[in-house]
Structure 1
Amino acid sequence: MTLPTGYALRPATVADAELIQAQRDEIFTEMGREVGLVRSVSAASLSWLRSALGSGLYQGWLVEDTEGRALAGAGVTWQHLQPSPASGTQARAYLDNVYVAPQARRQGLARRLVQRLLAECEGRGVQLVTLHATAAGRPVYETLGFVPTDEMRLTLPVAVVETA
């Protein structure tokens, strides 16, 4: 996989957790999520990212310019679920945090990042890869073979635990 001139791809490390979280916060803000809500979960998400990057549960990739600025990123959370007709293996992948800074958009960076992640999935024997797409990202994913599914969602209220 080649990148446009002036960009380089590198794996993310635990030291990149803050950068990835900042990109993630920007994704949610651009999607129209209320800024206060995004900020309210940012610290917990950053803690998860640090742990998941360290353990290998989450694997990320970053695209940097010649000055070392990370202008794009994407990651995958590795899952082990019960085999089903959709996937005969336990290994699954959830793509997440696909972000490209506004000044670097329309150069194919998101596509190349997702292709890199898909290659990693294939190398691990993953058959089923899922993600949630923004309206802007949907055409990129569709050209890579992603299709809408019949998944449904229910968000339960957070239980309040009383302490004595």
Structure 2
Amino acid sequence: MFVDSAQVSDARLSEVTENFVPWVRERLIDGRYVGWLTSEERHVVAGAGVLFMDFPPHWMDPEPVRAYLLNVYVDPAFRGRGLARELLDVAMNDARQRGIKVMSLHASEFGRPLYERNGFKSTNEMILWSEADVAGK
């Protein structure tokens, strides 16, 4: 996903992978992260995940949990088949069944149209990266 979007160097990708595996394992075990994979002939071709985050009660939702959609990816050879849409539907339904009213995400330029078609809106969120983080790209 990061390589396809030219967001990361090989060195940074290795570092991310090394840190991601124990991070996601812990959250899969305790239920803070759920993920779905689509396979064809025993080969994973698409996936998506949701992180359930502790979040202060807010006017959008007084409950203290938000859903953050991440790791949505479809292998280029399998795009155009509706796999991302199917995974998005599953993720949105899972959050809805848990009573979660707010789901957020960070969209790539390729994913943005899918999310907009499904009701996601751009917000006023801002971000700050330290120079060290930007240099690691």
Pair in the same fold by TM > 0.5: yes
| Cα contact 1:91–1:125 (8 A) shared by 2 | no
Q: How many Å separate the matches in 1 of 2:38 and 2:15?
A: 27
TM-score, structure 2 as length reference: 0.90
Letter in structure 1 aligned against 2:18: A
Residue 18 of structure 2: which of 43, 47, 51 is its match?
43
Displacement of 1:41 after TM fit? 2.0
Q: Give matches, 1:11-160, under 5 Å.
A: 27-33=1-7, 34-65=9-40, 67-156=41-130
| Number of residue pairs the alignment of both structures matches | 131
In the TM superposition, structure 1's runs of 4+ consecutive aligned residues that sit over 3 Å from their partners are none
SS across alignment from 1:88: coil
What's the C-alpha RMSD, in Å, of the aligned pairs? 1.3
Deviations 1:47-70 (A, max 9, x none): 1111111221110001111x2211
CA distance in 1, matches of 2:85, 2:45: 14
Per-residue deviation, 1:74: 0.2
Larger Rg: 1
SS in 2 for 1:86: coil
In structure 1, the partner of 2:135 is: none
Q: TM-score, normalised by structure 1?
A: 0.76
- Secondary structure of the residue aligned to 2:42 is coil
Equivalent residue, structure 2, for 1:15 = none
Gaps of 5+ in 2: 133-137
Among the aligned pairs, what percent are the same residue? Answer: 37
Give the aligned residue type for 1:77: L
